Structure 1
Amino acid sequence: MPPVPHLTTALSGPILELEKRILEAMPTIEHWFRGKWQSHTVPFYCSVDLRNSGFKLAPVDTNLFPGGFNNLNQEFLPLCVQAMMAAVEKICPDAHSILLVPENHTRNTFYFQNIAVLQGIMRHAGMNVRVGSLLPDITSATTIHLPGGNSLILEPIRRKNNRLSVENFDPCAVLLNNDLSGGIPEILKDLEQIVIPPLHAGWSTRRKSQHFFAYDSVAQEFAELIKIDPWLINPYFSSCGKIDFHEKKGEDCVAAAVDEILKELKEKYKQYGVHEKPFVIVKADSGTYGMGIMTVKDSEEVYKLNRKQRNKMAIVKEGLSVSHVLVQEGVYTFESINQAVAEPVVYMIDRYVVGGFYRVHTGRGMDENLNAPGMHFVPLAFDSSCVLPDHEALPDAAPNRFYAYGVVARLALLAAALELDRSSPRSS
């Protein structure tokens, strides 16, 4: 199976020297990745938000509990199934039954469509899959009706000794599509079954700053491998703790980090002849769903937040307070679909890129977070020929551009592997 499918993209902009370098180095890159996967445990599945500014291509977020399988193009499903077979064989070679545990916080139909697609992928890979809910009000098998006539059955999870089950079903492994933002439930602790991703991958313990610290080392090594400036694939970042936006605590740390990153960016923009105004993103150091995020172009803005802005920054998913923030270089996105700002999201199962989609927002600018209410998704579509990047075409031809996206997404996947190795209870 090729590591990256051959896709069309929304962007056909200027030829990027970065993409040219990545394309020319393809054999070297693939050999390097193969070596890395021999010495690191690849996450079970992962999605990466990328931003392509025309002069830089970098990951800005990495999700280890991806919730958008329903947004993938249907033509990607064979790739998903093949990759799922590889992923399951590593974890549970004799696996035939898996309990899938979804999020608690949402009854969103689109999210349940994601669960249904994920369940379908695993069934096509030869697994028996049942969906077990942690919600206390799910006391018996409950059918969720989905658009298109499909349905999903949620069942109450039972624990006996150190095993989870649903009625008449004793699974080999437990697959979480629940990112544990609200903490690790007692029912999931100390199980004898394999839990994937591991509990320490959840947002109750994980930090974005730890991920980008790992990514920093990956990007440096990769940049040396193909002889590029690591900044072209790596956003500057810093982190601050002891934050309380309501009480205005920790603002000096945030403002100082913003100043430092803006100073570094001005030098880089000058070096590369970039005429845009540099900006910084301040976001909660854990959590997802685009909550607790703001765009900053001057450190003084940190001190001038109004009450509404402070409330927005202080609380994230499941009502959790923000006490740590990631201060990250803002990467422009110059991609658009029908005049709306877009960013690619790349999906991986095991070490394989299995597809992706564009997150599109008609109400946001190219320097803003697009993961916000009002966004919609446009699946990436296969090109007519679908095997490998086209070495005869220009570097910004659709399949070649997506090859570059797949490479940078896999760098983030490798960083996640390093991050989980370092944070594993076994390594402490």
Structure 2
Amino acid sequence: MVPHLITALTGPINELEQRVLESMPAIERWFRLEWMEHTPPFYSSVDLRNAGFKLAPVDTNLFPGGFNNLTPEMLPFAVQAAMSAIEKICPEAKNLLLIPENHTRNSFYLSNIATLIRIFTQAGLNVRLGSLDEAITAPTELALADGSSLTVEPLLRTRGRLGLKGFDPCTILLNNDLSAGIPRVLEHLHEQYLLPPLHAGWALRRKSQHFKAYEDVAKRFSKLLGMDPWLINPLSVPVEGLDFSEGQGLEALQTHVDAVLSKTRRKYKEYGIQEKPFVVVKPDAGTYGMGVMTVRDAKEVLELSRRCRNKMSVSKDCQAVHQVLVQEGVVTHERVNDAVAEPVVYMMDRYVVGGFYRIHADRGMDENLNAPGASYVPLAFSQASQLPRPGEKPGASAPNRFYMYGVIARLGMLAASYELEVTDPEAEVYA
């Protein structure tokens, strides 16, 4: 199934779909050459928004936590991609240490961890769980919703290596985004592969750096296809020096919100789009949909209520927000039944392994859907029977739309690759 897209069938996205399908050989060659020069993130997920006149990524997650939302039919693709990724990094790998988030009592998140264990076990690795949570001092059983359980163990640091009692891994996989900071136990590991690297965590990573890299990728890709990069790129600008709780820096934020709204209005006028533009203000570091607000008029910034300012002042793990990203809002005109929907594409190594629609019955088409009350409708982006079908009428084929989603998501993944190269502290030493 594919959600209904409430737009005219002759809109820019259908033109983009047709151009993407016609350019498939050139696109795949372009990606192939890019991956000869750049290393993809070990795994990632990209949130997309399809406005009918524009299709763009609005977030790229380097510690994806929704593998439990993939269908069983997708898992073989994930296993194959995991094999490919491990063979590149540590061909002789035998043991994998998986480090989850500290809030491991969340049943949905635990299902995600169980799915990751299944994927990497089937890829030929012994997988065990180690926790950064200092409250975990002995092997601890965590119950899953299906009646099974996982065992999480305290980490053991010895002679520059990290492992568990009786378990010395070659590779350490983080499914913890390090929002609370970088633990010393993860630093200066000796002859062990830490994936993703520490600078991919929110302690150091910034969304503004990612979307700066994505802008470059979008321009280069759009030149290949002879199209306007705005059709796949959300305008964005970072704003620093904020203190929402004290009301500091709101004038500067208002100025940048107004600038992004003005640029968006000009593009809407150019394309004859009747929608009212809006922006999304989100923490420049952080995830889980916290501290996000939609602004339709720059005046709203100075009129924020105390409650709203308090909500914007902290992100995950109670981290204070002093820098935000002002991003052009992209409406979603996709619906699953009566609920607003947005596609989320999951990747491992350089491959699309699956995805799902995030839906929210209580949110509008211009609001953040990554919020309590969201649910998920899984979709197989990579099934053999779902290969794109060039020649079909744009907008009429689910496989064609999924292929297009996979292309845009891979652009987000490539931008993350650029981003990690530029922000690598070790690379700076040798620059």
Aligned to 2:301, what secondary structure does the other structure show?
helix
Aligned to 1:246, what secondary structure does the other structure show?
helix
1:107 maps to amino acid:
R
Is this contact kept in 2: 1:70–1:114, CA < 8 A?
yes
Deviates more, 1:25-34 or 1:151-160: 151-160
Distance in structure 2 (CA, Å) of the matches to 1:12 and 1:223: 24
**Aligned pairs (5 A) from 1:138-217:** 138-192=136-190, 193-217=192-216
In the other structure, the counterpart of 2:379 is 380
**Aligned pairs (5 A) from 1:293-304:** 293-304=292-303
Is this contact kept in 2: 1:86–1:350, CA < 8 A?
yes
Q: 1:36 aligns with which of 34, 37, 52?
A: 34
Distance in structure 2 (CA, Å) of the matches to 1:311 and 1:259: 22
Ranges in structure 1 where 5+ consecutive residues have no aligned partner: 1-7
Is this contact kept in 2: 1:12–1:398, CA < 8 A?
no
Give the C-alpha shift of residue 384 in structure 1: 8.4
Give the C-alpha shift of residue 270 in structure 1: 1.2
1:338 maps to amino acid:
N
Distance in structure 1 (CA, Å) of the matches to 2:382 and 2:154: 43
Distance in structure 2 (CA, Å) of the matches to 1:306 and 1:384: 48
Distance in structure 1 (CA, Å) of the matches to 2:380 and 2:193: 35
Is this contact kept in 2: 1:207–1:285, CA < 8 A?
yes
In the other structure, the counterpart of 2:271 is 272
Aligned CA distance change for structure 1 residues 420 and 86 (closer, same or farther; 3 Å): same
Alignment deviations for residues 192-233 of structure 1 (CA, whole Å, 9 cap, x no partner)? 111000000000000000000000000000000001100000
Counterpart check, 1:407 vs 2:403? no
Alignment deviations for residues 340-379 of structure 1 (CA, whole Å, 9 cap, x no partner)? 0010000000000000011111110000000111111111
Give the C-alpha shift of residue 11 in structure 1: 3.4
Q: What is the root-mean-square deviation in Å for CA atoms of aligned residues? A: 1.3
Is this contact kept in 1: 2:74–2:383, CA < 8 A?
no
In the other structure, the counterpart of 1:4 is none
**Aligned pairs (5 A) from 1:11-90:** 11=4, 14=9, 16-90=14-88
Ranges in structure 2 where 5+ consecutive residues have no aligned partner: none
Percent identity reads 58
Aligned to 1:403, what secondary structure does the other structure show?
helix
Counterpart check, 1:424 vs 2:429? no
Aligned CA distance change for structure 1 residues 286 and 383 (closer, same or farther; 3 Å): closer
Distance in structure 1 (CA, Å) of the matches to 2:234 and 2:104: 31
In the other structure, the counterpart of 1:322 is 321
Is this contact kept in 1: 2:386–2:399, CA < 8 A?
no
In the other structure, the counterpart of 1:5 is none
In the other structure, the counterpart of 1:255 is 254
Distance in structure 1 (CA, Å) of the matches to 2:383 and 2:164: 44
Query: Which protein, 1 or 2, shows the higher relative CO under an 8 Å CA cutoff with sep ≥ 6?
Result: 1
In the other structure, the counterpart of 2:351 is 352
Distance in structure 2 (CA, Å) of the matches to 1:426 and 1:162: 18
Counterpart check, 1:10 vs 2:8? no
Deviates more, 1:177-186 or 1:8-17: 8-17
Aligned to 1:148, what secondary structure does the other structure show?
coil
Is this contact kept in 2: 1:347–1:354, CA < 8 A?
yes
Q: TM-score, normalised by structure 1?
A: 0.96
- Runs ≥4 residues deviating over 3 A: 381-385
Give the C-alpha shift of residue 392 in structure 1: 3.4
In the other structure, the counterpart of 2:342 is 343
Distance in structure 2 (CA, Å) of the matches to 1:224 and 1:161: 51
